[in-house]
A and B are shown apart, each in its own frame.
Chain A
Amino acid sequence: MTILEQVQTIFRDVFDDDALIISASTSAKDIEDWDSLTHIQLVTRIEKAFKVRFTVSEVTKLKVVGDLITLIEAKTA
């Protein structure tokens, strides 16, 4: 599974939507339930799944799914 696919699984679970498709350009305005509450859930779940830890500064800079993927790649490289 690619990182995007793994992230998509987490998104589907958090947003409770098995048909959800995300891409690198997906942002909070594309997903109705993506608010500050679900955002922290996504971050927590991704941190757990990839065994990484994001800094406060990194989390505040995440705008689109692509940012997230780049960050995971950098941390797991």
Chain B
Amino acid sequence: MNDLLNTLKSLKIEQCETTDLLKWSRRIDKQGLATDQEPTKVAVLGSRNTQFFTQILKVALMNQGIQPEIYEGEYDSIRFELMDPQSSLVRFKPAFLILIPDTDDLKRLPSILDSEKSVDDLVQETLQETLVLWDTFLSRNSCVILQANYVLPYENALDQLEINVAYSKSVFITKLNLALTHAKPKQVHLIDLNGLSNEIGKIRWFDPQNRLLNKAPYAYEWLPQSVSIFVRQLMGLKGTYRKVLVLDLDNTLWGGVIGDDGLEGINLDPNNPVGEAYLAFQSYVLSLKDKGVMLAICSKNEETTAMSGFTHPTMKLKQSDIACFIANWEDKASNLKTIASRLNVKTDALVFFDDNPAERLIVREYLSDVLVVEVPEDPAGYVNALYEAHAFDWPQITQEDLLRIKAVEGDSQRESLKSQFVDYEAYLASLSMSATAGTITTAQLERFVQLTNKSNQFNLRTLRVTEADILERMKDPDSACLYVDLSDRFSPYGIIACALLKKQGQEAFIENWVMSCRVLNRGVETLTLSLLADKAKAWGCSRLIGEYLRSPKNDMVSDHYLKMGFTQVSEHTYALDLSKAILKPSTITLKEPL
């Protein structure tokens, strides 16, 4: 049984054949692979056949280490299941709801020569039908909806006129998809199934015969890819995603070997096709950095030689773009561990891009949780290889992701400042820290959920939440969602600590407490504790109760509550008497929230 689980985990779903994945699915059904893990409830509803999709979804979730519990709706039952308050779907209580409508659902289409205004009106009317479904279901159930957009058809009655007039089917569906983007609530994430069909090509995407024989929405050949885009979003929403791109230098960022060829000898020539390929790759890497991906260098070189490459006149990446720079002769697996620890992430947050197959092999062998991109021989294919790995398919980008890059740049300045001070308090004071703190508002919801879900190390109970869970707690007078937003003289950090508190009679229970490791030992721990204590006292509670639940990654906080002055009352539980005053740290100035 463990063999099967391990094999499932090693599959590369997108590269598998549909028939092979279905075979795995049947094997799972026969062996009944139940782990002691809490199952994740996922519901799938579609306007056409979803049976194959569901079977492959099960394999793909197990591939990601998730124990799935899947509910498959009846054929073409989206409307009924979402609207009926007593439907089987409602009783199932999904955490994630996958909806796959079909373009043939759109019964009302514009007529030839309709005005743009009447087309727009029809878009709005059609949109309303979906909005009602979402709102009705989400008002009764807390879950995240992953909905496929409408796939534009292959065949077009109007041919070229299709994109020249407002009343064409293509224009109508495109407008409708855009309208969904604009109108969707936070708990809905759209999945670009139409985009996937474009990548594959409409003529290959559709299978008219299978559509008739099996009500298949598209050719079964593409199920591995279409299931994967849903699973990537789902994993991201559960807090599993990668943050760092680790790059090699020689023949990865530039052509040639700088140690042998010298700064003048490396190829970064914008007038040479090969040099252009490396420059194009650098541009793509920079666009990843712009969305919040941290960049690191891991190169077998002398450090000074490696760094000199960044002074090349046409080099697009600058040394200041790099959050962690390692050039030495040690093995890359060890270096990747160093990079992870310097950037305060686990190695499972790393993506490794290196032209040398031997290095890739070593990293795969020794650090199996690092995503190793299969790099083609020809640099012309680098950009596509990195894109196709979909390594940074994040479900959202927050202000904090962007600030983190600045903060990492600030880190080196901060480190040099630290060495000037012997007295730690004096060092903290010199950072001129200021914070806003208190109960979150909806504006902070997204970041609150993101930090709660992606923090692994400083995380007391590893409670994972959805935006819907937090919205529910925000409405509950016996719950509090508390945050700290920190800045110092080098950089703004944004929200770096989150806590959930629940009133339980005379006691207030800390449902979860997470903090970004970047601000460890800066007084934020004490500040958060004072927030918790203030809230508990306001409720009239006499004790704060904290619990530490061990996870594979949160060893760092195993004695956190003891350090904070709590007393241990049972194996996992700690209590703090609230009659004592909790002082706020003097080195952080509290400001009013804007």
Contact = CB atoms under 8 A, between A and B. Distances in A.
Interface in A6-64: 13-14, 16, 33, 36-38, 40-41, 44-45, 55-56, 59-60
B51 A60 contact: no
A36 B214 contact: yes
Nearest to B52: A37
B208 to A, nearest CB: 9
A40 B26 contact: no
Contacts of A37: 22, 51-52, 55
Contacts, number: 31
A44 B26 contact: no
Nearest to A36: B214
Nearest to A43: B213
B210 interface: yes
A16 B23 contact: yes
B287 interface: no
B212 interface: yes
A33 B210 contact: no
A60 B26 contact: no
B342 interface: no
Interface residues of B, number: 15
Interface string B47-81: 00001100100000000000000000000000000
A20 to B, nearest CB: 13
Contact of A16 (B27, B210, B212, B214): B27
Interface string B201-213: 0000000011011
Contact of B210 (A13, A38, A40): A40
Contacts of B212: 56
Secondary structure dominating the interface of B: helix
A41 B209 contact: no
B214 A40 contact: yes
B19 interface: yes
A65 B404 CA distance: 63
A55 B209 CA distance: 8
Interface string B23-59: 1001100000000000000000000000110010000
Given A37-B52, A40-B214, A40-B220, A56 B22 contact: no
Contacts of B52: 37
Contacts of B55: 37
A16 B220 contact: no
B19 A59 contact: no
B19 A14 contact: yes
A55 B212 CA distance: 11
B209 A56 contact: yes
Contacts of B209: 55-56, 59
Contacts of A44: 19, 220
A41 B26 CA distance: 13
Contact of A45 (B19, B27, B216): B19
Contact of B26 (A13, A16, A55, A59): A16
A37 B213 CA distance: 11
Contacts of A60: 213
13 contacts: A13-B19, A14-B19, A14-B23, A16-B27, A33-B26, A37-B22, A37-B55, A38-B22, A41-B22, A56-B209, A56-B213, A59-B213, A60-B213
Interface of B: 19, 22-23, 26-27, 51-52, 55, 209-210, 212-214, 216, 220
Interface of A: 13-14, 16, 33, 36-38, 40-41, 44-45, 55-56, 59-60
The 10 closest A-B pairs by CB, nearest first: A16-B23, A56-B212, A41-B19, A40-B214, A56-B209, A37-B51, A59-B213, A56-B213, A37-B52, A16-B26
